Amino acid sequence: MTDNPLLQQWNTPFEIPPFDLIKDEHFAPAFVEAFAQARAAVDAIAGAADAPNFANTIEAMEQAEGLLERVAGVFFNLAGADSNDALEALQRDLAPKFAAFSAETLMNEALFARVSAVGSAGLSAEQSRVLELYNRMFVRAGAALEPSARARLKLIMQRLASLGTTFSQNVLADEKSWDLALGEGDLAGLPESLVSAAAQAAKDRGGEGYVITLSRSLIVPFLQFSTRRDLREIAFKAWVARGENGGETDNIAAVAETLELRAERAALLGFKDFASFKLDNEMAKTPEAVRELLMAVWEPAKTAAERDAAKLTELMRADGVNGDLAPWDWRRYAGILQKAEYDLDEAEVKPYLQLDSMIEASFDVAGRLFGLSFKPLDVPLYHNDARVWEVRKGDRHIGVFVGDYFARSSKRSGAWCSRFRAQSKLGGEVRPITVNVCNFAKAPAGEAALLTFDDARTLFHEFGHALHSLMSDVTYAFISGTSVSRDFVELPSQLYEHWLSEPEVLTKHALHVDTGKPMPQDLLDRLKAAENFDQGFSTVEYTASAIVDLDFHTGAKGDPMEAQAETLTRLGMPAAITMRHATPHFQHVFSGDGYSSGYYSYMWSEVMDEDAFAAFKETGDAFDPDTAARLAEYIYTAGGSRDAAELYTAFRGSLPKVEALLKGRGLD
């Protein structure tokens, strides 16, 4: 045990995990010890003889799982960003163990009795909020159920944890196992940056030549630029078939069982369906409110998409292609249409969007808005591609930020923000260690990595989440950083995207990779004019996924693929557009229940982010100091210390209407 770095004090800068010392074999024994310590602490709290109060019950629980949280913070970040067979096997073993520990803690009668007995007299506003949320957490976990119902719910939660882990690993396995090898004759239409990235992808997989993988930063530009319709079809069908290929990695049975167990869980807790259970704790409150939002957007988005589809079909005919516009055609001809209507194409923009420059741009915006600075650190990390910075505000240490930007086969797809350590003040100041993980295409050695504008937007989005975590300034980790309602958590991230499009940001940081010259005003103007191009397509693919998610959890029965098809038929889904995330690889919803019944939350938050950025524009200054100070106080530093609607209203004065979103997307 004493040789296990996970169980030792970390004498590293800012107590960053000692990744150079941590080995795969250290995790299993560390978890054994961590679970033992956590159980002992929980039992001590539950069995205490003293009358329950906030300090000996709630604050004690805040500190009960310190080692477990530390070990898990390292393990689960590695399992997502740099996994291997050993970590995946341990993850499968741990999933039901974590669920069992959570259930035995939150269904502990003696512990629940103590939490329920803690009075609110004399508590600060933050403490009262934490107490309220603790009581709610216990009730929603089943603490108030009869013993037989608690026992059944405990089994359900363990099985759901295993299913979620299996789902995620199946998708990763499909992504690892597929690539499309390209010969010299298959590169027609591809820009030089994509050819270089495809060559690097082949090298990373131990081969030669060029390959397209299922990384979004490779496959999306391939679908956009390749003139080979046959290859686009092969690539697209592989992309959308993740988790639906039969055999051991097929996810359909896991989805069906997950939906059945979630429905049973909701019924045990007294709700008519799982969506009603999940949303009861969110800003939206009810499935009806979510459906109202989604349908308000669906029809204008569908109309715009159908109008664009007619234009794309004409371009396809002019290109000598007969037949119907297909999903593997859309991006190709949308690019041609964008060039025709706005004289803009990705190949012209991409040389100005160097990864390092966009990272610096995101830091610069944080400096101008919130007074933050970022200093590179030279410490070992878990992968050579990852980088790390100390974050400061003046002389004050704010936290540590890790950026892990490139796609690799050991990393699950997508982009996300996580943390190795949460911010808190209980027992002393603890500043966060936050990580952004992306899947951008890696350039060959000696060349700068170039981003699409969507990639750059993703970078800003995830950094908005990181700031929400880094700037947190609360006492209790339970409500720190991104520990807020699901349909509020996307506000800081989506809002931050807006500054990427600000001309003064692009003029300063969008420098040509070869000449070093800033993006010319003419290109800036065209980029801004095309900001809402193809919004019909992107809104339809997103909203369809959100509605399918909602339908799944409000009573859809039977085969999940049939249920998905029924929803899309009812909506009149355009034939040339698919869901952004089809059910067998819908990791937001089925890798865990974080976004289950909650994929709508990106759109719910977008209603707020459009309105929030308007607060800056109304001043005539995208960096207005007074507005930025309010934003920091009520959004980025407040965590979950107050109700989300209350926090937003404190910042803006009132809650916005859906019209803000429609206007922002050009669908009004």
- Residues tagged active-site: 462
**Cα–Cα dist 293/560, whole Å:** 24
**Cα–Cα dist 320/501, whole Å:** 36
**Cα–Cα dist 173/493, whole Å:** 29
Determine contact, residues 315/330, Cβ cutoff 8 Å.
no
**Cα–Cα dist 381/82, whole Å:** 11
C-alpha distances (whole Å) from 647 to each of 626, 632, 644 are: 16, 11, 5
Q: Identify which of 233, 221, 235, 191 has the alpha carbon closest to the alpha carbon of residue 329.
A: 233
**Cα–Cα dist 217/171, whole Å:** 17
Place of tokens 């929803």: 567
**Cα–Cα dist 283/642, whole Å:** 12
**Cα–Cα dist 207/211, whole Å:** 9
Determine contact, residues 661/606, Cβ cutoff 8 Å.
yes
**Cα–Cα dist 314/326, whole Å:** 13
Q: Identify which of 129, 139, 107, 109 has the alpha carbon closest to the alpha carbon of residue 58.
A: 129
Determine contact, residues 335/224, Cβ cutoff 8 Å.
yes
Buried residues in 38-75 as b, exposed as e (16+ CB within 10 A): bbebbeebbeeeeebbbebbbbbbbebbebbbbbbbbb
3-state secondary structure of 655: coil
Residue partners of 94: CB distance under 8 A and separation at least 6: 31, 75
Q: Which helix (H) or strand (E) holds 398?
A: strand 396-406
Instruction: State the number of CA atoms in the 13 A half-sphere of 618 facing the CB.
Output: 10
Determine contact, residues 127/54, Cβ cutoff 8 Å.
yes
Residue partners of 237: CB distance under 8 A and separation at least 6: 328
**Cα–Cα dist 168/178, whole Å:** 16
Q: Which helix (H) or strand (E) holds 139?
A: helix 125-141
Q: Where are the beta strands (DSSP E) in 160-212?
A: 180-182, 210-212
C-alpha distances (whole Å) from 631 to each of 626, 627, 634, 648 are: 9, 6, 6, 9
Q: Identify which of 270, 303, 294, 347 has the alpha carbon closest to the alpha carbon of residue 551.
A: 294
Q: Identify which of 295, 648, 298 has the alpha carbon closest to the alpha carbon of residue 491.
A: 648
Q: How far apart are the first and last CA of the chain?
A: 62
